[in-house]
Structures are given as C-alpha cells and as structure tokens.
C-alpha cells in the first residue's frame, strides 16, 4: 500500500509530497515538531503531546495552524490513510514560506503543516527490547532551549550518528559538570546502586518528555522510589539498570554505557516491568 502525507491541508502521495524551497523549516530550522506513538490506530499520550506542541509554538511565537480538534482529525486521518495500527505519527509546524530573512515574515504568513505516519513492527521492537541496547556518551553541545521541541536537531543528528557508528542505539549528552542531560531523541534513566530510579529534573536544559511524564505516574502507582536528580557518567556505568524513554523507543532497557556492561548484560527486572506497565497504560489510554 502506498503511503500518503498531509501537507498544508492536502493528502499527497508520500513519494511526491513536498514543501516550498523557501519554507523556513527547510532554510532556518524555524519550526517545531511532535511525535506520537500509535497503538491500535490511536494516539498514545495524546493530551501531553498536544500541550507540549502548544507550548513549543507559543515559545517561538508561531501561530497555531488550526484548532486542536482539527489537528486531531488530520492526525487520525493520516494514520487511517496509511493503515497504521502500531507505529508513529509525526507532525511538523514551521513559520511558513517567505523570502529568506532571519527575522519573522509578515504577520499572517500561514504556518506550514506536514504530517506523516509509519508502521512499527511491535514484535520486532519487543525482541530488541528483550535483548537490551547500548548507549554512548558525548559532550553536550546543544543550545539553551532544549525544552522547546524544535526541528533544529543538528547536534542530535551528529550524536545519533556517532552512536550508530559505535553500534549503540542512543547517545547520552553529558554537560560540563559530567552529568547526563538526556539522549539525542530520548530521556535517560538509571536505577542506582541503592535501587533508586533516577532521571534528570526538568529544570535542566532537557526536553520534558511525555513518555517520561507518563512513566512518572506509572512509577508512583507501582510504589517505586524515584529521584528527579542528575547522575554522572560513572554512576550510569555502575548502575544496576538503565533505560531510555521516548515515543519511538517507549521504555527501552540499556545494558551497556560506553564500553561498560551493566550487571549481567541483560535488561534489568525494573526496566522490563516498566516497559510492560507503560505499554499497557499507553494502549489503554490512547485516543
Ligand atoms: N524524540 N529528548 C529528546 C531530545 C527527544 O527528541 C525526545 C523525543 C525525547 C522523549 O520525548 P517523548 O517522550 O515526548 O517522545 C527526549 C522523538 C521521539 C523524535 O525526535 O523522534
């Protein structure tokens, strides 16, 4: 079945879908995005992603392209037309098309909206999660507004490529104090030697992950101890367990940090359990 993409109100064959060469997203990375996991054709953690989208747009003073209700219909329709049961839906909103100039275009320039959807093989993803994955660490080189989900992802691209070349799935950024901030496209977690769950607090320069947010509720319900507090690379290397969270990876156990194998090199019981609980909750609450 051929894929279709939503581009500014029109569904186009995916292979031919395009935006103008003077789109500010293309020329200046002047735009934001969101990614929802899709379960049974429905949006996971829908509300959280919509709220973060509104916030990202407001922080950049980009006009919301349409109402949330209309956006939801466009997202669902893109999912339906691509026959995605399990997968991801991607939304990008840029400041629109205008003659190149760093400052904002004339008021009223319509934002550009692109939506794509793709299927994910959940069985293959489960098999990967059952094995666990590796991360590498890399110096933090990003700007100071990582709380805004912008399409300006060059440091993340370079970090992810370094991970790929090292046979790892993710790169963890490490700040000047030697503390892990987050991954190139996920939030970073450990279970320290005292058995406490640890993840960086959102006062730090990180993206406020929606999967992270839902998992905090799962953790509270499960009665586990959590500290939203930074950890060093050494603490990560000597952790009992580690994992990453994000709409793409959900909750993915990590079994190696740089060249250090964690524990027995297999996903830990807490990370495995949290993956199950998160998926259960996300599936049950998707709409
Ligand atoms: N990335 N941190 C960064 C830098 C991210 O890019 C992401 C998500 C996350 C996790 O956020 P959430 O739980 O809301 O997905 C954390 C998406 C999936 C992406 O870029 O494809």
Query: Are residues 41 and 111 part of one domain?
Result: yes
Report the number of secondary-structure helices (H) and strands (E) in the chain.
Answer: 8, 15
The response to whether residue 207 sits with its C-beta less than 6 Å from ligand 1 reads yes
Query: Are residues 215 and 230 part of one domain?
Result: yes
Boundary-marking domain end, from 79, 95, 120: 120
Q: Looking at ligand 1, which atom is closest to the CA of residue 184?
A: 4
The β-bridge partners of 180 are 174
Residue 206: DSSP 8-state: S
173-197 confidence digits (pLDDT tens): 999 999 999 999 999 999 999 999 9
Query: Are residues 172 and 87 part of one domain?
Result: no
Query: Are residues 138 and 116 part of one domain?
Result: no
Cβ 268 vs Cβ 197: under 8 Å: no
User: What's the pLDDT at 98?
Assistant: 98
For 115-144, what is the mean pLDDT? Answer: 98
Question: Which domain covers residue 177, as residue numbers?
Answer: 125-285
| Domain at 69, CATH number | 3.30.470.10
Strand pairing of 4-7 and 10-13?
antiparallel
136-175 confidence digits (pLDDT tens): 999 999 999 999 999 999 999 999 999 999 999 999 999 9
Please state the domain count of the chain: 2
Residues 6 or more apart from 60 whose CB is under 8 A from it?
A: 30, 32, 95, 148, 150
Query: Are residues 89 and 15 part of one domain?
Result: yes
Residue position matching structure tokens 């006009």: 63
- Predicted confidence band of residue 32 (pLDDT cuts 50, 70, 90): very high
Nearest-CA residue for atom 11 of ligand 1: 209
Report pTM: 0.98
Nearest-CA residue for atom 20 of ligand 1: 185
Query: Are residues 140 and 253 part of one domain?
Result: yes
User: What's the pLDDT at 276?
Assistant: 98
How far the first Cα of the chain sits from its last, in Å, is 24
Q: How far apart are CA 287 and CA 284, in angstroms?
A: 9
Query: Are residues 180 and 116 part of one domain?
Result: no
Boundary-marking domain end, from 73, 103, 120: 120
Nearest-CA residue for atom 2 of ligand 1: 186
Boundary-marking domain end, from 73, 90, 120: 120
């Amino acid at each position: 079945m051929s894929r279709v993409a939503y581009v500014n109100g029109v569904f186009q064959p995916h292979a031919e879908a395009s935006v103008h060469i003077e789109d500010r997203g293309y020329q200046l990375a002047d735009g934001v995005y969101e990614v929802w996991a899709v379960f049974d054709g429905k949006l996971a953690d829908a509300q959280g992603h919509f709220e973060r989208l509104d916030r990202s747009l407001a922080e950049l003073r980009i006009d919301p392209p349409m109402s949330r209700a209309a956006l939801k219909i466009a997202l669902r329709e893109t999912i339906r037309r691509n026959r995605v049961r399990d997968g991801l839906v991607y939304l990008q909103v840029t400041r629109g098309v205008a003659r190149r100039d760093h400052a904002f275009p004339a008021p009223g320039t319509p934002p550009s909206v692109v939506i794509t959807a793709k299927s994910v093989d959940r069985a293959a993803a489960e098999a990967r999660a059952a094995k666990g994955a590796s991360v590498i660490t890399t110096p933090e080189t990003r700007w100071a507004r990582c709380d805004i989900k912008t399409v300006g992802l060059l440091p993340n691209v370079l970090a992810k490529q370094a991970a790929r070349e090292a046979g790892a799935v993710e790169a963890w950024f490490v700040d000047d104090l030697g503390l892990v901030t987050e991954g190139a496209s996920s939030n970073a977690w450990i279970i320290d030697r005292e058995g406490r769950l640890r993840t960086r607090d959102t006062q730090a320069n990180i993206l406020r992950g929606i999967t992270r947010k839902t998992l905090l509720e799962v953790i509270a319900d499960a009665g586990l101890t959590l500290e939203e507090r930074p950890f060093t690379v050494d603490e990560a290397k000597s952790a009992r367990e580690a994992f990453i969270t994000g709409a793409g990876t959900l909750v993915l156990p990590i079994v190696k940090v740089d060249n250090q194998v964690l524990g027995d090199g297999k996903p830990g019981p807490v990370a495995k359990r949290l993956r199950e609980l998160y998926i259960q909750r996300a599936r049950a609450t998707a709409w």
